[in-house]
A and B are shown apart, each in its own frame.
Chain A
Amino acid sequence: MRSCNSPVDGSPAGKVRGDDQKSCQPPARWWRPIWLGCAGLFLVFDPAMVLAQFRSSPVAPLLEEEHFKDGQSTRQVFAPVVTAVRGSVVSFELDGQRVALGTIVAADGLILTKASEITGGELTARLPDGALVEAVILAVAEESDVALVRVQAKGLKPVEWSVGDPGVGQWVVTAGQAFLPEAVGIISVPPRRILHRRALIGVQLDLPGGEGARITRVMDGYGAAAAGIRPEDLILAVNATPVSSGEDLMQRLREFRAGQTVTLRVQREDEEFDVDVAMLDAEPGGSPSRLSRQGRLNPLGGQVSARAEGFAQALQHDTVLEPWQCGGPLVDLDGRAIGLNIARAGRIASYALPAGLAQEILQWLMVEAGLEPIVSP
């Protein structure tokens, strides 16, 4: 880990203090990261240059923040849009912490939301009328990261889904429970498949094989090393499915995302045993990073969702959301849901599952939960 000296350089590793850092020795050239860290506070530009260079370009003075695209005054204009839909939005809390919004899909308390944000604690839902009620997860569609949740309530107002294709440039409004939207933006890219990046267990393999996949090298910091896998180990199976070669193993592992765990059947000399190995994301710098519940910090634009990739279809919009603002409806100017916010994906992008897909997932989840599918009126 490079985190020993990083609290000052603004890197994500520096912001979440792990136990491993307590034993860190100050690096020899401690002054360097510190000096750089201070760069984080620098003003980037010298306003004096403005006048010097662009007398002919009168843009001054700076726009008031409330007039920004997502500023308070601008969001005010969207109030009537939100009025139409905020009765269909719940807010989820996990052990009292707000973690996601939810989209009401049936009057008797069925709600869709982002699955990966609502597990690991006591789940409650704040209903549109302000009541705080217990919430139970009925079923999860792992592929799209959508959960179907039940709350004990009657007479809720299901969201109205929009029909038709959303177009690039169209306003999209992320409604919460307040009078003003959580945030507003436009559609940046029509719906498309969002692949997930390849996750790694951190080994090198003998590609050809005959029976199993032979490990040639184990990389530090990844799941395989943490699980005690060693060079010369032979991997016989992934989640009980036999693998025939290194290539086969790689192929099999491609189906998993960072954050998931696979069970490998390992043969070492005369022993044979199972071991659980965590899949990690490979960072551009080559070091691994674990997707955590808190989400990862995108240093240039706030937090991204822990699960931000790997969707069968998602439309991309430029709304600046926090991870806990996902799970609720993304609506058009008529207050109809054109999608379900499913991820904050980076500085420029949020993803929403298109309305059609969200409804398909809902039907699937209903069956999965043993409920009668909702019949469209």
Chain B
Amino acid sequence: MHNVVCHGTGNGYDSAPMIASVKVLPGQGSAGSAGFHPVRSWSLAILLAAATISSSLAGREPAEAALPDAPVKPLPVYPLVVPAAREDLPDALLRTVPVSVNDLRAIEAHVSSLAARVSPAVVAIRVGGASGSGVVVSADGLVLSVAHVGGYAEREVTFTFPDGRTARGVTLGSNHAMDSAVMRIIDPGPWPFAEVGDLRGVISGDWVLALGHPGGYQPERPVVVRLGRMIGYEGGLLRTDSTIISGDSGGPLFDMHGRVVGVHSRITDSPTANYHVPIGTYAETWERLAGGETWGQLPVPPRTWVGVSGVDHPEGIQLERIFENGPAFRAGLKSGDIVTKLNGMPVRSYATFLGAVTPALPGETITLGVKRADRELEVKLTVERRGSSRTR
């Protein structure tokens, strides 16, 4: 089906000068991957808030099967960024909203051919016990992925292409603060590869395609394609509404020119909250990534809370526990109250309630519609940093 040979001539990678050399990195393994363990050990609540989206996690085990002692190798150079002009895209793709069914047809034609063109460069990745996705960005097999799949340098990797071919490779560097990672195929190429883009000129509302292997590689299923729009930056990551999940981690986000502009990293409860590492960080930290360095830790999220637990109820959610001195407590909410509305919108389940409250900032006020006995109340409360009312 995706038998279109990869596009991407004029990349310039082969002719670019090779610079620098690989750093020797003793003992990088255990320090770098610590930031992601919460997901394994901390239950679903963390998943709701900040699920990293690997099928399993980069382990802490020492670098198994390191490459044989190699002579000092030239540092791979960053792929040439392919410039692209918005004006080259069909008008339908540039409008805030398509205006007609004809616009939709234009988008459809563009997206269909783009999906076929870029798919061959999307790979499934296995590293130790972790699996994820990645995208090949040079003919000799440089692969962009994420740190929570790669973990740290010099680990053995198996790449699987959409046509079923497999290739052996190795992890290079990982930046756990941004979740960026680079790997490379060591088997001889040339490999199908995708162009690398940049985010200059990218604006909210730009259409994007997310590709990858959600749930892990399945031989009978080709790369899975999802469409969305660029929503903007949140926390240094790109947010889109092209849905991703476990196994997509490390897979590419393409702009409508077919250039990689992001790499899938994480999600929250809402299907419109999908986060991708912006391509810029790979360029900015390329020497460290390509040089095999492992660094950084996840930023600690500000912990906002409302201070309730609840269960689903036909009219919304029923509150079970009101945590003492929490925002809900101080707003006068009581156990047994039924929350029917959040900021005027119906509340359908506890999960969606959590998902809707998640994006609130500390200090933000939310309005809840509450049923207590036969009365209907409106309760305003201010979400706050968890712990601020308890400690200090």
Contact = CB atoms under 8 A, between A and B. Distances in A.
Interface of A: 7-11, 14-17, 33-47, 49-50, 52-54, 56-63, 65, 67-70, 73-74, 76-78, 80-81, 167-171, 185-190, 192-193, 297, 299-303, 316, 318, 320, 333, 346-349
B361 A43 contact: yes
28 contacts: A8-B45, A17-B311, A33-B45, A38-B45, A38-B386, A39-B50, A41-B354, A41-B383, A44-B275, A45-B301, A46-B235, A49-B235, A50-B236, A54-B199, A59-B203, A60-B204, A63-B231, A68-B229, A68-B231, A69-B227, A69-B241, A70-B272, A168-B222, A189-B221, A299-B351, A300-B47, A300-B268, A348-B243
B77 interface: no
Interface string B182-210: 00000000000000000111111100000
A60 to B, nearest CB: 6
Interface string B296-320: 0001011111110111100000001
A193 B44 CA distance: 30
Interface string B337-355: 0000000000001111010
B164 interface: no
B280 A54 contact: yes
A297 B351 contact: yes
B331 interface: no
Give me the 10 closest cross-chain CB pairs, A-B, nearest first. A45-B235, A169-B112, A8-B309, A62-B232, A57-B199, A38-B305, A36-B45, A63-B204, A49-B236, A318-B226
A320 B309 contact: no
A9 B231 contact: no
A46 B43 contact: no
Contacts of A57: 199-200, 202, 233, 278, 280
Contact of A302 (B202, B310, B351): B351
Contact of A53 (B104, B115, B236, B267): B236
Nearest to B206: A59
Interface in B89-139: 96-101, 103-105, 107-108, 111-116
Interface string B24-62: 000000000000000000111111111100000000000
Task: Please indicate which of the listed interface residues A41, A68, A81 has the most CB atoms of chain B within 10 Å of its own CB.
Answer: A41
A24 B66 CA distance: 50
Contacts, number: 295
Contacts of B358: 40-44
A44 B114 CA distance: 32
B44 A11 contact: yes
A188 B115 CA distance: 10
B204 A168 contact: no
B43 A318 contact: no
A45 B241 CA distance: 17
B104 A171 contact: yes
Contacts of A76: 97
Contacts of A45: 234-237, 275, 299, 301
B242 interface: yes
B43 A61 contact: no
Contact of B103 (A61, A65, A77): A77
Nearest to A55: B280
B85 interface: no
Contacts of B352: 302
B44 A9 contact: yes
Given A36-B42, A45-B237, A60 B232 contact: yes
Given A7-B310, A300-B245, A316-B224, A47 B234 contact: yes
B208 to A, nearest CB: 10
Given A57-B280, A74-B97, A43 B241 contact: no
Contacts of A188: 224-226
Contacts of B116: 168-169
A63 B358 CA distance: 18
A350 B321 CA distance: 35
A39 B101 contact: no
Given A41-B357, A192-B221, A299-B44, A349 B214 contact: yes
Contact of B243 (A63, A77, A168, A320): A320
B230 interface: yes
A58 B96 CA distance: 17
A8 B311 CA distance: 9
B360 interface: yes
Contacts of A49: 235-236, 299
Nearest to A72: B97
Given A46-B301, A192-B220, A318-B243, A333 B101 contact: yes
A49 B103 CA distance: 36
B293 interface: no
Task: Please indicate which of the listed interface residues B48, B202, B205, B268 has the most CB atoms of chain A within 10 Å of its own CB.
Answer: B48
B98 A74 contact: yes
A42 B299 CA distance: 13
Task: Please indicate which of the listed interface residues B45, B46, B358, B383 has the most CB atoms of chain A within 10 Å of its own CB.
Answer: B45
B70 interface: no
Nearest to B218: A192
Nearest to B2: A168
Contacts of B79: none
A33 B46 CA distance: 10
A348 B244 contact: yes
Contacts of B245: 300-301, 346-348
B288 interface: no
Interface string B73-86: 00000000000000
A54 B96 CA distance: 24
Contact of B302 (A46, A53, A302, A333): A46
Contacts of A192: 220-221
B359 interface: yes
Contact of A43 (B113, B205, B301): B301
B266 interface: yes
Contacts of A69: 227-229, 241-242
